[in-house]
Structure 1
Amino acid sequence: MTMDVRSLIGDVNVQRTVLTNGIRVVSERMPSVRSISLGVWVRAGSGNETPENNGIAHFLEHMLFKGSHSRTAKEIAQSLESRGGGLNGATGKEISSYTAHILDQDLPLAVDVLSDLILNPRFDPSDINIEKQVVLAEMANAGEDPEELILDHFYQNLYPNHPLGYFIYGTEKNIRQFERPSLDSFLNHHYTTENTVVAAAGNVRHDQLVELVERYFSSTVPAQPPAGSSLQMQSPASLSQHRMKNLQQTHICIGVRLFGFKDQRRYALALLDTLLGGGMSSRLFQNIREKYGFTYSVFSFADLMADTGVFGAYLACEKRKSKESLELLQEEFLKLQQGHLAEEELALAKSQVIGNMVLSLESSGRRMKKIGETEIYDCPHISIDQSIENINRVSTADIIDLMQQFYTPSNTNTTILSP
């Protein structure tokens, strides 16, 4: 066993232990709270699927809550809810997570429950059939949410013929065909020790957490860590148009592919995202909504994965205003690419990003998510002071260079969802 301790801020520490079976355990102590946010992070998601099993990562996440060999689904739900806590699961492109928010005294129970549902799933055929209907209903709900639907199409457009472009829910055909062998295969192949991180933040003692993870997660099987996606940084420009019945507005996404999670340019990207569409004071909000009144919802977004990332913007508007709105989106991107950025505006963005970072330290859930993601992507845990220094070091030239490197008409992807 090896342990690596890194100071974060004041008397708050991130502690890291690699168990002999390969599982990484990271924790951050917050002695002023009486709760703990706990998460099991697995490097597996829809990006690990094929066309034939697309949707299995999300379906597996559902099925792990349907009962283990020692607990029914109701007993899993009641285990922490009866003590005021709660459980949740989520599936992404590259990561699946299983989280609990609990009183500090209930940490042993939470580790027991999370390990039980992940390591000892029952996968009862009747439960599988019932959960198929639940997931199909969830997929139908998502299909009626235009903001969620256009983002699904946007990623499909940005990563054509690649698993990162697959819909996380999968397809109706695949879901109806999933049975226990499909679940066992994905679980055994991807839910391995090298792919697993257990993270906790709150009033947690690292030595106790390590002892609990060693006790309850000892039966997981070692395997090689996931291979990289070997994607090209940029993709050719494309336009994807879709129609949706009973839609009241046109929804538009534009964006580009860029670098992955480890790239130091992520600090410049955070500022770019804030400048362009990060709140009511952002360029997109002030121009397209406040000046022209074309939209109610407009924002930019950044999503960094292991070897690739996405930067884009979204808005919804009346159909008759869609052409002008798209042009305004493109115009704001071009302004930054052409160097229209004042030092004063960047200074305000830095203040906003730093303020958000510091305020997020008050949440054990956000801290747990941060250290869990940092560890799952094999990045160093750095102090808040170092993060602030990295933000303050970004110049206007860095922002402009970023736009000039990644945003051009020849590599911009546009997705439109219309009535």
Structure 2
Amino acid sequence: MIERTSCPNGVTIVHEKMPYVRSLALGIWVGAGSADEEEFEAGIAHFIEHMLFKGTSTKSARAIAEEFDRIGGDVNAFTSKEMTCFYTTVLGNHAPRALTVLSDMFFNSTFEEAEIDKEKSIVLDEIAAVEDTPDDDVDERLWATMYPDQPIGRPVLGNKKTIKKFNKKMILEFMERMYTPERIVISIAGNYDDRLIRLIEVHFGSFRRGKQLEQTISLQLPEFQGGLTVKGKDIEQAHFCLGFSALRVQDKRIHDLLILDSVIGGAMSSRLFQEVREERGLAYSIYSYYSAYKNAGAFMIYGGTAPENLKELADTIDTVIHSVQKDGITENELHNAKEQLKCGFLLGLESSESRMHRNGKSELLFQEHKTADEVITLIDNVEADQVRAMASELFTERRTISIIAPEDVLKGFEI
């Protein structure tokens, strides 16, 4: 059972006991990501994620790493468009020590200028790695075109211009604005006793940051815009990405979208995989995926093909999605998609780390937690006509295309 504890300062603790495991996963979730950044500070949420591992007033970066190695724990972090998470998985008996080190990183990181300068080089290398990976780069360029000049359309990593200007003052100002108690959730799942909850309250239950500034960014709902972006590059394969405006994460029809994703390109039996890869041999990699956020969402299709097959790939994708619009899906496709979703969901609940992630994210986004049976019921209740309606709503002429391919195949390509 998932329980919630509220600290006096507004920090929320969500905890789920799994007495049959020996592990304990603990995560500090912050409702702050790249969509909360001003243009001049693009990438700073992700940069802060890196910097919290670079030393505190009592521990160096090496000492932090050794602390987790000493207890055999895994420690990691990630930043998305709407949240940042610092987490660790350890044996249950080492949880108090892991919590102490994580809280030290969270509250006492020193952000020394020398470490900031070193980390700038590392993040710039990370940006360069994305640019050198066409299937990542084509997705980033898609988002920038779907939501131009808007925070949610910018890369989580930021850009070279903004990264080079980061300093300690900017870091502290962003944290003062965004790392406030009401935006923080501590999520734990696994083998623990109630003393750990009390220890979390000691570490996180009383801190306060300065007065939260008025958030102009969060009041501006992102506006999807169709378009075409192309990048010529001397590579062996053409990378094609197609995007449509989709549901926000809180939309009650999100399970209709999940089923549609599975049928279109989310499984080996999906229409895109069978038609593009198995029947036509146009691509090794072909799939659909979606991203749902609080204020925006997108449904995307990616395919990588030989440059001379780019036009046929694009036409085939159109044919597949139009077939779902026109004819809907079969009962067999509906059944298979439901079973795939249910299996993936239930298998994901078998580890303490996955439950910690699910609970932390649910608390930040919804402030509620559906049981496994409730989720299964929502999936089972989806009907074929709902999926067809979703396809008709999503797959409109208002679309975005992103292509990275050799220059000669880009000439004359139209949306």
Per the TM alignment, residue 119 of structure 1 is displaced from its structure 2 partner at its CA by: 1.1
Q: Tell me which amino acid in the other structure corresponds to 1:396.
A: A
Structure 1 residues 219 and 70, CA gap change in structure 2 (3 angstroms): farther
Give the corresponding residue for 1:235: 224
Per the TM alignment, residue 222 of structure 1 is displaced from its structure 2 partner at its CA by: 7.2
Give the corresponding residue for 1:314: 302
Q: Distance in 1 between matches of 2:143 and 2:87?
A: 26
CA contact (8 A) 1:251 1:418 kept: yes
Q: Distance in 2 between matches of 1:191 and 1:390?
A: 34
Structure 1 residues 285 and 73, CA gap change in structure 2 (3 angstroms): same
Q: Tell me which amino acid in the other structure corresponds to 1:371.
A: N
Matches within 5 A, 1:260-409: 260-409=248-397
Deviates more, 1:385-394 or 1:360-369: 360-369
Give the corresponding residue for 2:146: 158
Q: What is the CA deviation profile of residues 235-265 of structure 1, one whole-angstrom value per residue up to 9, with x for unaligned ones?
A: 3421111123x42211111121222111111
Q: Distance in 1 between matches of 2:281 and 2:98?
A: 49
Give the corresponding residue for 1:29: 17
Matches within 5 A, 1:217-236: 217=204, 218-221=206-209, 228-231=218-221, 235-236=224-225
Give the corresponding residue for 1:174: 162
In structure 1, list runs of 5 or more residues that go unmatched: 1-12
Give the corresponding residue for 2:404: 417
Q: Distance in 1 between matches of 2:98 and 2:46?
A: 22
Q: What is the CA deviation profile of residues 62-88 of structure 1, one whole-angstrom value per residue up to 9, with x for unaligned ones?
A: 111100112111111111122211211
Q: Distance in 2 between matches of 1:323 and 1:398?
A: 31
Give the corresponding residue for 2:123: 135
Give the secondary structure class of the aligned counterpart of 1:338. helix
Per the TM alignment, residue 223 of structure 1 is displaced from its structure 2 partner at its CA by: 5.8
Matches within 5 A, 1:31-46: 31-46=19-34
Q: Distance in 2 between matches of 1:156 and 1:273?
A: 22
In structure 2, list runs of 5 or more residues that go unmatched: 407-415
Give the corresponding residue for 2:202: 215
CA contact (8 A) 1:228 1:306 kept: no
Q: Distance in 2 between matches of 1:334 and 1:235?
A: 21
Matches within 5 A, 1:55-74: 55-74=43-62
Give the corresponding residue for 2:82: 94
Deviates more, 1:216-225 or 1:381-390: 216-225
Q: What is the CA deviation profile of residues 204-261 of structure 1, one whole-angstrom value per residue up to 9, with x for unaligned ones?
A: 33x33321221112324276696745426x63421111123x4221111112122211
Structure 1 residues 223 and 96, CA gap change in structure 2 (3 angstroms): farther
CA contact (8 A) 1:337 1:404 kept: yes
Give the corresponding residue for 1:5: none
Q: Tell me which amino acid in the other structure corresponds to 2:250.
A: K
Give the corresponding residue for 2:412: none
CA contact (8 A) 1:27 1:204 kept: no
Q: Distance in 1 between matches of 2:390 and 2:192?
A: 40
CA contact (8 A) 1:37 1:102 kept: yes
Q: What is the CA deviation profile of residues 358-403 of structure 1, one whole-angstrom value per residue up to 9, with x for unaligned ones?
A: 1111122211111111101124201111111000100011111111
Q: Tell me which amino acid in the other structure corresponds to 1:110.
A: A
Structure 1 residues 272 and 117, CA gap change in structure 2 (3 angstroms): same
CA RMSD of aligned residues (A): 1.6
Q: Distance in 1 between matches of 2:288 and 2:195?
A: 41
Give the corresponding residue for 1:48: 36
Q: What is the CA deviation profile of residues 141-162 of structure 1, one whole-angstrom value per residue up to 9, with x for unaligned ones?
A: 1211111111111111111110
Q: Distance in 2 between matches of 1:57 and 1:180?
A: 13
CA contact (8 A) 2:49 2:79 kept: yes
Q: Distance in 2 between matches of 1:363 and 1:144?
A: 34
Give the secondary structure class of the aligned counterpart of 2:327. coil
Question: Are 1:192 and 2:144 matched, yes or no?
Answer: no
Per the TM alignment, residue 406 of structure 1 is displaced from its structure 2 partner at its CA by: 2.2
CA contact (8 A) 2:273 2:286 kept: yes
Q: Distance in 1 between matches of 2:324 and 2:190?
A: 40
Give the secondary structure class of the aligned counterpart of 2:301. strand
TM-score (norm 2): 0.93
Q: What is the CA deviation profile of residues 92-115 of structure 1, one whole-angstrom value per residue up to 9, with x for unaligned ones?
A: 111111010111111111211111
Give the corresponding residue for 2:114: 126
Paired residues, what number?
403
Q: Distance in 2 between matches of 1:87 and 1:304?
A: 26
Q: Distance in 1 between matches of 2:135 and 2:323?
A: 26
Per the TM alignment, residue 415 of structure 1 is displaced from its structure 2 partner at its CA by: 0.9
Q: Tell me which amino acid in the other structure corresponds to 1:231.
A: L
Q: Tell me which amino acid in the other structure corresponds to 1:216.
A: H
Q: What is the CA deviation profile of residues 327-376 of structure 1, one whole-angstrom value per residue up to 9, with x for unaligned ones?
A: 11122221112233111210111111111111111122211111111101
CA contact (8 A) 1:22 1:222 kept: no
Q: Tell me which amino acid in the other structure corresponds to 1:239.
A: L
Structure 1 residues 230 and 100, CA gap change in structure 2 (3 angstroms): same
CA contact (8 A) 2:30 2:183 kept: yes
Give the corresponding residue for 1:7: none
Q: Tell me which amino acid in the other structure corresponds to 2:321.
A: F
Q: Tell me which amino acid in the other structure corresponds to 1:294.
A: L
Q: Tell me which amino acid in the other structure corresponds to 1:412.
A: R
CA contact (8 A) 2:9 2:207 kept: no
Give the corresponding residue for 2:171: 183
CA contact (8 A) 1:300 1:311 kept: yes
Structure 1 residues 24 and 223, CA gap change in structure 2 (3 angstroms): farther
Structure 1 residues 150 and 350, CA gap change in structure 2 (3 angstroms): same
CA contact (8 A) 1:201 1:367 kept: yes
